[in-house]
Chain A
């Protein structure tokens, strides 16, 4: 499904900042992986690498068996449009679209704008508990509600992979727990794989596996969720 082998990435010119070093990871279909780590360690960069939004200095990345290095920018865009859903820390909901139109945006980007798509967006809003807010403006919603809109948007087009970047970073603990519950449930309901990056172990608790990203690479952590789920999935990086 998602496979990273020996990925390295640095930023900057004369004195480059090394962000990812020899990172390898495999995420199987319908698997929910969390990656925790300190600020600045490269968690967001790792997600952007998986989405084809950042080029890598070394190693390889493949999604659904497709090596991202073989795709040009437009085909990477098409890959994200069709197979990936994103959830951001700062929600990034377009203020000038209604809640429903925000959720339906990935479908619209695929050229799908009929009644069925509208019904799908409404269904996703109901799934995240915002069934009655479709016509609202994002300005009328709280932070937790906005993040649930973002989750609905990430899953509306039935992606095979959801990438979530600190989705609870801007939320209070209660709201964060609620959002994580909604996210995990939505991912499972849609039979999608998910990669969650966060600095919060609590947020990572719902994942099947939890890794810690450090300057030296990725290391697997034992988590309750793994024991609870007892899924027979590969748990070690190659």
Chain B
């Protein structure tokens, strides 16, 4: 017996079936579907925009490093204050090295400006072979060897507004040193820097006998890894050799956590969009139960019904993705132009780079938009296909079916999420933390029907009929109730979690500043070129009105070429009372008498190096590996790359460097801050040679930077809440219109339009109340993961929980009021004469 093939359906027939399922594309593009498209577009736009901005930043960074590295195969790099130039001949003489170019890189303070300019001192005869972009182009070729000749890059010349023959004055120590613009650097990219002769830089900037970098070109065919290993063995402690790409990766790594978190945050909007698609599709499927049942009765296979609903979702996703990509590109252009490629977070400096279309990522985000829409439609589509046609035909206004597996899935999802929250970072990214948040969020939304029922049943039944009917309706339709709440719960949860995290961070930062800034006045110099000599230190400490001065040398050292340099803070500190100057976390026991001298590491370094109090740490200082005992771990919101505090007297003993670049001043009783400021300015001379700030000013500056950095997160989260609220409002309107016959009947029974409006407003308020309350509770749970997992693993910032109860209460009140208003407005449309006529079956 041969199996009979089903008849092939024509295109027209398929189109009719799809039209019957979707209600037509025009219908799909109206009302709630339009809102779903907007939500998807919004998510895709934000995700793609953030990606483009990040790419622009990274491309700019990589391009700058590539220009400065030229065609070097390997780079020798050391601490910020450099390494002995005796290393150079050891490297240059290696059998595989065909060219080696020594470099001294100084971050030079510009006189009269609060900015620095990187100046690279090169030996032009060596650099030309490896890094031609570091060679100055001048009319008089001997200028490249003259001590006062400066060759800014095109971007630097634009930034400084200088041309050949002009002067650029830099600050060295507390003196001004004029340099002559003799030409330009041989580069056309956006990197801001200038080049000089290496001997001039060493001499003028107090780098005598020191280098900061050696660019190395190997012989063709040389074993790069072997040469790297061999050369590394020749280098002193704290100096390493690695390919330039490693340096670029280390630089990118510095901002990676910020960029990844911004990416994830942008995807939150897409997640909320998917929730909105879920809500609209669930209600849409419930609304079309009868036509679907009719189609199933007429012989439409379940899988084609699923395909139809998913096809409709794919259209919504595609329309949203296309619109989102265009909007995202526009947002990226505006953001890079106005806020810079780091969106104001302060990670990058330089001219804004172009925003380029990135086709693979464009396709990825388009795909994400479609996938989000499909994911949001999967459960409603299955619901539509599983409904028994005969029952569905009879009970057209039945509740949304909650899948039987929803509760175990919810429990499993939340359980897995909680377990993921305890897993460590993956390559220093909180991958499991993100998954934990997503799983807990999805689990909570799946659990909504199960949670909503007992919550509603626990409420006493009001005596007033509109309120009693509102509660009875919500109690009887937990599926619809949960579907309508999904988007609002997700968005409120994410918004409140972010708000709690940001408030905790801000409060902890404020507390931290209080501990870290105990003095009356803070003085610092900028860049590598400006510093306070021992004579300057004596002068500052003995200024009229100054009771006590503590000085600090800030520099950086490399522990691993693949990571950004860590900050070394050599400061005047009483080891017995380190807690009076550092925000110590936990205790700070005094090291044993015979132990290595104390060092206090910040939380970032403790996390990265897995170090604990009492353990030994070897620091490469001045070419030597010096042992220290970890005497304490301190909280630090300023140096996520890692920082170590050691006593300044020990640093001076090791390096012979007595200069400092920061000072904390305590004033005598009755001395005026303004008077001491004036005395400092008089000593240092004109311009901003010394930056002097009170703790209050530093606090305001820090909090302003904090607020600017988090402004983008506030904007993204507020947008997510708007989407969620819009979803709830649209769902309320749709539900209200679908219940017109019910309202018509109530009007027949003598219920006034006002009472029906009150009933619907009560439903809206109750929905929003439950949604907002659930969202806030979920948000609190997610905020704990953000604080203790995501932030800790991303940035190594420890912080204390601080719930901004006032602003969250205000947000909740506004959301509930808006939902109530939306329901009340919907009631006006649904209780008119049309509702009365909807009751009758004939004229």
Which positions in A face B, CB cutoff 8 Å? Answer: 11, 17, 19, 39-45, 48, 51, 53-54, 73-74, 77-82, 84, 86, 88-90, 92, 94-97, 101, 105-106, 108-109, 111, 113, 139, 153, 165-166, 169
Contacts and interface: CB of A to CB of B under 8 A. Distances in A.
B476 interface: yes
B742 interface: yes
A139 B475 CA distance: 15
A92 B843 contact: no
Interface stretch (B41-49, B296-304, B833-841): B833-841
Interface stretch (B144-152, B525-533, B747-755): B747-755
A54 B836 contact: yes
A44 B842 contact: yes
Interface of B: 395, 397-398, 463, 465, 468-469, 472-473, 475-477, 741-742, 744-745, 747-755, 833, 836-837, 839-843
A97 B472 contact: yes
A53, A106, A113 pick with most chain B CB within 10 angstroms: A53
Contacts of B472: 94, 96-97, 101
A48 B835 CA distance: 12
Consensus secondary structure, chain B interface: helix
B407 to A, nearest CB: 22
B842 A40 contact: yes
A17 B837 CA distance: 15
Given A92-B745, A109-B465, A41 B843 contact: yes
B751 A109 contact: yes
Contacts of A84: 750
A105 B842 contact: no
A53 to B, nearest CB: 5
Contacts of A74: 752, 754
B741, B747, B836, B840 pick with most chain A CB within 10 angstroms: B840
Nearest to B753: A73
B836 A53 contact: yes
A80 B840 CA distance: 17
Contacts of B836: 48, 53-54
A41 B741 CA distance: 21
Given A77-B752, A96-B472, A53 B842 contact: no
A198 B309 CA distance: 41
A90 B839 CA distance: 8
Contact of A88 (B469, B747, B751, B839): B839
B843 A19 contact: yes
A86 B839 CA distance: 11
Given A53-B836, A77-B752, A88-B839, 20 more contacts: A39-B843, A40-B843, A42-B843, A44-B840, A44-B841, A53-B833, A54-B836, A80-B748, A80-B750, A81-B750, A86-B748, A86-B749, A88-B745, A89-B841, A90-B741, A95-B398, A96-B473, A108-B468, A109-B465, A153-B749
A11 to B, nearest CB: 8
Contacts of B742: 92, 94
B839 A166 contact: no
Contacts of A51: 748
B741 A92 contact: yes
Consensus secondary structure, chain A interface: mixed
A92 B744 CA distance: 9
Contacts of A19: 843
Contact of B842 (A79, A96, A113, A166): A166
A53 B748 contact: yes
Given A77-B750, A81-B750, A95 B476 contact: yes
A99 to B, nearest CB: 13
A106 B842 contact: no
A39 B842 CA distance: 7
Contacts of A80: 748-750
Nearest to A96: B476
B465 A108 contact: yes
28 contacts: A17-B843, A39-B842, A44-B842, A44-B843, A45-B840, A53-B747, A53-B748, A74-B752, A74-B754, A77-B747, A77-B750, A77-B751, A77-B753, A80-B750, A81-B749, A90-B841, A92-B745, A94-B469, A94-B745, A95-B476, A105-B749, A108-B465, A109-B465, A109-B750, A165-B840, A165-B841, A166-B841, A166-B842
Contacts of A44: 840-843
A92 to B, nearest CB: 4
A96 B463 contact: no
A57 to B, nearest CB: 14
Nearest to A89: B841
B837 to A, nearest CB: 8
A109 B749 contact: yes
A53 B833 CA distance: 8
B747, B748, B752, B837 pick with most chain A CB within 10 angstroms: B748
B741, B836, B842 pick with most chain A CB within 10 angstroms: B842
Given A80-B750, A92-B741, A106-B750, A139 B395 contact: yes
Sorted from nearest, which 9 A-B pairs have the closest CB atoms?
Answer: A81-B750, A96-B476, A80-B750, A44-B840, A92-B745, A77-B752, A86-B748, A40-B843, A53-B836
